[in-house]
């Protein structure tokens, strides 16, 4: 057997296609649907998906050359977009005959097959041993056709997109609010965290105690920290009416943003210190020897060298903040979490997914952007 | 190790120990919440019910710990197992896809996993347990792989030279040397799970998040504070306990007993 990873993926995929529901059809958005396995889907061209499937099976057996990996990668990406297209097309076909309230939802089989196709594509990209930036770009290219299908309206009859079209206005308000919370938390954290990190790097003695405090904050569960911040902020708003006019209060954005700042401080301060700590001593000495002042050394030598490590800290803080902002909906801050908890309360999976999927997409985008930035900076120029 | 120290010194050490303080506070709130009723009544005079009484805080804490313990135990078994598997010569091929799944999984917020699990698996304890176990896997797999990979090649070669088989090298060399890193992964996993378990009350599982959610829904700030303080203290106590465990493991690593084993002597 040449490629055991692909072999396992192919076996799991075959079992999934055989046993799990590809789509489910329900009379309305709250009821559980009846399962439609892949075999019962009657959209024409369904069997075209067999071609990439066969190529992937061949990929298990073929000699593992670069060309094989490239073919497997492209085929797996095609299979992924083919699966998405098939789901959208079948939903559109069903919509012609069904009632207006009926919902065709993606089933467990679809999600698992899509995950497998994505993993197979990713594994092939990994085996091609591309550079770090090319690799991130290749991974994004795998998902690109899916995004194109989404924006081309091919998926509009799927229940998730129906849910979206009902709540389009609310959705964009929630999305904008989510981004607003994250940005409003990260900017002040950078303004405080970077100087704090620089000071701590110079005063090694106080590092332990500051990190101990930041670590304790990081340990406290988000819902608890949000709750604990409500009381002092509510008191503050009652005592100072001016603050209340600015929107500060026990519920809403203020406690959410403050809690996110507190959580983001640890990764940002830690990565600033770690980045500065890995600047080679001789480089600093040489800069001092050339007559640079301490401020110049910091700006022209230490910070540029520390940048990749520092950016990894910003990436962690950003991904974390995107996720934690979901919980902030519980204290009335709004954002995509509001859709999630509203969906949970009414048992509507589509609504939950309408909140969760953009959150995950936001986190993945933040992660990918900062990974590319880190690698751009760490590759030597010229 | 403290046995030969005078009792008075041990008492002073205890009084300076943050773990002891936080544990005492936690126990105070878990067992004595009812005694604090006058305090909360005075702080929130407008509330009819200043103390959460639907469940005792002891019962909530036990339910919370049960949720975390069960899911974390599953995560440890599967996560360490997967980490060992992908670092064996016959499983090495699976390491890149496993690592990629772990990396992408960690960009998912834990609350997202919980929110998707509930409508699929029904409300209550089951979806919470599965979501917590799944999400808790990620740091454990990551650290098990990192820990085993960090074992010096010389240590492994020396063990092979002594005629140890692969299974014995894993048990006697790789796992003990990787232990601090693996425990650090378990620590991250358990702390995340304590936080996510608090959110599990939004999908109908009983936990220390219940007073917070009930308080948020009913504008009862006292409930929110009670739940938040207890769950916050629980997380801090568990984190400090892990820190203590890690220090203990580190000391055990550097102890003369471990240095006496021939293999470790061979690599330095």
Domain locations along chain B: 53-266
Best CA proximity match to A258, nearest among A314, A211, A325: A325
Residue B122 reports pLDDT greater than 90: no
What is the mean predicted confidence (pLDDT) over B161-186?
93
Q: What percent of chain B stands above pLDDT 70?
A: 93
Write down the pLDDT at residue B4.
Answer: 60
Weakest mean pLDDT among A134-138, A146-150, A285-289: A134-138
Write down the pLDDT at residue B266.
Answer: 32
Residue pair A214/A318 in contact by the 8 Å Cβ criterion: no
Residue pair A217/B203 in contact by the 8 Å Cβ criterion: no
Residue whose structure tokens are 């998040």: B209
Question: Do the chains contact at B112 and A319, CB–CB below 8 Å?
Answer: no
Sign of CA dihedral A201, A207, A210, A215: positive
Write down the pLDDT at residue A381.
Answer: 45
Name every chain B residue with its beta carbon within 8 A of the beta carbon of A359. 109, 112
Residue A99 reports pLDDT greater than 90: no
Residue among A5, A227, A353 minimizing CB distance to B212: A227
Name every chain B residue with its beta carbon within 8 A of the beta carbon of A319. 106-107
From the CB of residue A382, how many other CB atoms can be counted at a distance below 10 Å? Answer: 2
Helix intervals (H) in chain B: 7-15, 18-32, 37-43, 57-87, 95-107, 110-121, 125-149, 153-161, 166-169, 175-199, 209-218, 221-254, 256-259, 262-266
CA distance A291 to chain B (A): 41
* Sheet of A21-26, strands arranged across: A34-37, A21-26, A103-106
Residue B2 reports pLDDT greater than 60: no
Name every chain A residue with its beta carbon within 8 A of the beta carbon of B97. 5, 119, 122-123, 126
The size of chain A, in residues, is 382
Write down the pLDDT at residue B70.
Answer: 96
- Tell me the domains of chain A and their CATH numbers: 4-156 (no CATH), 168-378 (1.10.3720.10)
Q: How confident is the model at residue A262 (pLDDT cuts 50, 70, 90)?
A: very high
Residue A378 reports pLDDT greater than 80: no
Residue among B116, B203, B236 minimizing CB distance to A353: B116
Using CA atoms, how far residue B26 sits from A205, A230, A267, B19, in Å, is: 30, 21, 27, 10
Residue A380 reports pLDDT greater than 60: no
Question: Do the chains contact at A323 and B110, CB–CB below 8 Å?
Answer: yes
Residue B53 reports pLDDT greater than 80: yes
Write down the pLDDT at residue B254.
Answer: 66
pLDDT in tens, A162-188: 999 999 999 999 999 999 999 999 999
Give the CA angle between residues A151, A153, A154 to the nearest 5°.
Answer: 115
CA B37 to chain centre: 31
pLDDT in tens, A313-324: 999 999 999 999
Q: Which residue of A has its CA nearest to B232?
A: A220
Please list the residues that pair with A153 across neighbouring strands: none
Write down the pLDDT at residue B268.
Answer: 29
Select from A227, A312, A345, A368 the residue whose CB has the most chain B CBs within 10 Å, as the one to mutate to test that interface: A227
What is the mean predicted confidence (pLDDT) over A317-332?
94
Weakest mean pLDDT among A106-115, A127-136, A205-214, B209-218: A127-136
Question: Do the chains contact at A344 and B203, CB–CB below 8 Å?
Answer: yes
Spatial separation of the C-alpha atoms in residues A57 and A82, rounded to whole Å? 17
3-class SS shares of chain A: helix, strand, coil, % to 5: 80, 5, 15
φ, ψ of residue A213 to 5 degrees: the values are -65, -45
From the CB of residue B2, how many other CB atoms can be counted at a distance below 10 Å? Answer: 8
Question: Do the chains contact at A250 and B120, CB–CB below 8 Å?
Answer: no
Residue among B120, B224, B239 minimizing CB distance to A219: B239
pLDDT in tens, B193-239: 999 999 999 888 999 999 999 998 888 889 999 999 999 999 999 99
Residues 6 or more apart whose Cβ sits within 8 Å of residue A26: A32, A33, A34, A102, A103, A105, A159
Name every chain B residue with its beta carbon within 8 A of the beta carbon of A341. 115, 202
Q: How confident is the model at residue A108 (pLDDT cuts 50, 70, 90)?
A: confident
Question: Angle, nearest 10°, between helix axes A349-378 and A336-346?
Answer: 150
Question: Do the chains contact at B115 and A319, CB–CB below 8 Å?
Answer: no
Residue A251 reports pLDDT greater than 80: no
Question: Do the chains contact at B198 and A340, CB–CB below 8 Å?
Answer: no
HSE of A168 in the Cβ direction (CA atoms, 13 Å)? Answer: 5
Residue A157 reports pLDDT greater than 70: yes
The size of chain B, in residues, is 268
Question: Do the chains contact at B107 and A360, CB–CB below 8 Å?
Answer: yes
Across chain A, mean pLDDT equals 90
CA distance B83 to chain A (A): 16
Residue B258 reports pLDDT greater than 50: no
Write down the pLDDT at residue B263.
Answer: 37
Residue pair A264/A324 in contact by the 8 Å Cβ criterion: no
CA distance A33 to chain B (A): 12
pLDDT in tens, A48-92: 888 999 999 999 988 888 999 999 999 999 999 999 999 999 999
Spatial separation of the C-alpha atoms in residues A243 and A309, rounded to whole Å? 37
Weakest mean pLDDT among A185-189, B24-28, B106-110, B208-212: B106-110
CATH architecture of structural domain B53-266: Orthogonal Bundle (1.10)
Name every chain B residue with its beta carbon within 8 A of the beta carbon of A221. 194-196, 198-199, 209, 231-232, 235
The complex's ipTM works out to 0.87
- Token pair for B97: 């896809």
Best CA proximity match to A103, nearest among A28, A155, A36, A40: A28
Classify A98 in phi/psi space as left (phi over 0), alpha (psi -120 to 50) or beta.
beta
CA distance A63 to chain B (A): 15
Spatial separation of the C-alpha atoms in residues A259 and A325, rounded to whole Å? 10
Name every chain A residue with its beta carbon within 8 A of the beta carbon of B96. 5, 123, 126-127
Q: What percent of chain A stands above pLDDT 70?
A: 98
Q: How confident is the model at residue A135 (pLDDT cuts 50, 70, 90)?
A: confident
Question: Do the chains contact at A340 and B111, CB–CB below 8 Å?
Answer: yes
End-to-end CA distance of chain A: 44
Write down the pLDDT at residue A379.
Answer: 53
Spatial separation of the C-alpha atoms in residues B125 and A199, rounded to whole Å? 46
Using CA atoms, how far residue A53 sits from A41, B115, B191, in Å, is: 17, 32, 42
Question: Do the chains contact at B229 and A228, CB–CB below 8 Å?
Answer: yes
Spatial separation of the C-alpha atoms in residues A218 and A237, rounded to whole Å? 26
The 8-class DSSP code of residue B158 comes to H
Spatial separation of the C-alpha atoms in residues B145 and B137, rounded to whole Å? 12
Select from A219, A228, A260, A316 the residue whose CB has the most chain B CBs within 10 Å, as the one to mutate to test that interface: A219
CA distance B102 to chain A (A): 12
What is the mean predicted confidence (pLDDT) over A242-268?
85
Residue among B96, B195, B235 minimizing CB distance to A123: B96
Write down the pLDDT at residue A377.
Answer: 61
- Token pair for A66: 């670069």
Write down the pLDDT at residue B132.
Answer: 94
What is the mean predicted confidence (pLDDT) over B103-127?
85
Q: Which residue of A has its CA nearest to B44?
A: A231
What is the mean predicted confidence (pLDDT) over B13-32?
90
Residue among A227, A228, A323 minimizing CB distance to B111: A323
Best CA proximity match to A179, nearest among A325, A287, A79: A325
Q: Which residue of B has its CA nearest to A139?
A: B100
């Amino acid at each position: 057997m040449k490629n055991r990873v692909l072999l396992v993926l192919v076996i799991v995929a075959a079992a999934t296609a055989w046993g799990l529901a590809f789509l489910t059809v329900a009379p309305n958005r709250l009821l559980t649907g009846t399962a439609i396995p892949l075999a019962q889907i009657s959209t024409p061209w369904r069997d075209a998906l067999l071609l990439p499937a066969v190529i992937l099976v061949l990929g298990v057996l073929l000699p593992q050359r670069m060309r094989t990996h490239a073919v497997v990668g492209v085929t797996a990406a095609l299979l992924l977009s083919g699966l998405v297209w098939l789901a959208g097309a079948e939903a559109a076909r069903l919509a012609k005959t069904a009632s207006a309230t009926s919902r065709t939802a993606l089933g467990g089989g679809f999600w698992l097959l899509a995950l497998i196709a994505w993993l197979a594509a990713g594994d092939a990209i990994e085996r091609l041993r591309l550079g770090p930036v090319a690799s991130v770009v290749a991974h994004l290219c795998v998902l690109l056709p899916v995004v194109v299908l989404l924006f081309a309206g091919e998926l509009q009859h799927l229940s998730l997109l129906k849910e979206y079209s009902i709540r389009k206005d609310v959705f964009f308000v929630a999305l904008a609010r989510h981004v607003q919370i994250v940005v409003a938390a990260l900017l002040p954290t950078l303004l405080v965290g970077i100087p704090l990190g620089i000071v701590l790097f110079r005063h090694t003695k106080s590092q332990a105690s500051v990190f101990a405090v930041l670590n304790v904050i990081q340990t406290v569960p988000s819902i608890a920290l949000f709750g604990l911040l409500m009381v002092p902020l509510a008191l503050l708003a009652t005592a100072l009416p001016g603050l209340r006019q600015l929107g500060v209060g026990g519920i809403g954005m203020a406690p959410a943003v403050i809690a996110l700042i507190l959580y983001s401080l640890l990764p940002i301060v830690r990565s600033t210190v770690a980045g500065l700590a890995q600047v080679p001593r001789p480089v600093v000495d040489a800069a001092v020897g050339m007559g640079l002042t301490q401020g110049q050394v910091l700006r022209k030598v230490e910070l540029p060298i520390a940048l990749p490590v520092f950016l990894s800290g910003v990436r962690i803080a950003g991904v974390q903040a995107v996720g934690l902002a979901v919980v902030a909906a519980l204290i009335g801050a709004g954002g995509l979490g509001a859709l999630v908890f509203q969906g949970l309360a009414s048992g509507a999976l589509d609504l939950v997914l309408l909140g969760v999927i953009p959150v995950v997409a936001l986190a993945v985008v933040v992660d990918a952007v900062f990974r590319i930035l880190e690698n751009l900076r760490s590759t030597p120029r010229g | 190790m403290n046995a030969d120290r005078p009792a008075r010194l041990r008492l002073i050490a205890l009084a300076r120990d943050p773990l002891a303080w936080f544990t005492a506070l936690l126990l105070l709130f878990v067992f004595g919440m009812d005694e604090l009723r006058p305090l909360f009544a005075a702080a929130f005079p407008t509330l009819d019910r200043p103390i959460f009484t639907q469940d005792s805080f002891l019962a909530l804490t036990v339910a919370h710990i049960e949720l975390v313990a069960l899911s974390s135990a599953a995560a440890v078994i599967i996560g360490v197992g997967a980490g060992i598997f992908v670092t064996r010569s016959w499983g090495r091929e699976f390491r890149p896809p496993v690592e990629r799944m772990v990396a992408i999984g960690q960009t998912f917020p834990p609350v997202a996993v919980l929110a998707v699990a509930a409508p699929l698996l029904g409300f209550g304890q089951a979806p919470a347990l599965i979501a917590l176990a799944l999400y808790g896997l990620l740091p454990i797999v990551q650290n098990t792989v990192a820990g085993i990979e960090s074992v010096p090649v010389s240590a492994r070669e020396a063990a092979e030279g002594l005629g140890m088989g692969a299974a014995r090298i894993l048990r006697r060399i790789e796992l003990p040397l990787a232990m601090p890193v693996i425990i650090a992964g378990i620590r991250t996993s358990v702390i995340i799970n304590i936080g996510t378990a608090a959110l599990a009350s939004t999908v109908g599982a009983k936990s220390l998040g219940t007073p917070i959610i009930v308080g948020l829904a009913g504008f009862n700030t006292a409930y929110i504070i009670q739940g938040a303080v207890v769950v916050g203290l629980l997380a801090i106590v568990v984190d400090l306990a892990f820190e203590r465990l890690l220090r203990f493991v580190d000391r055990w690593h550097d102890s003369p007993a471990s240095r006496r084993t021939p293999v470790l002597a061979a690599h330095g």
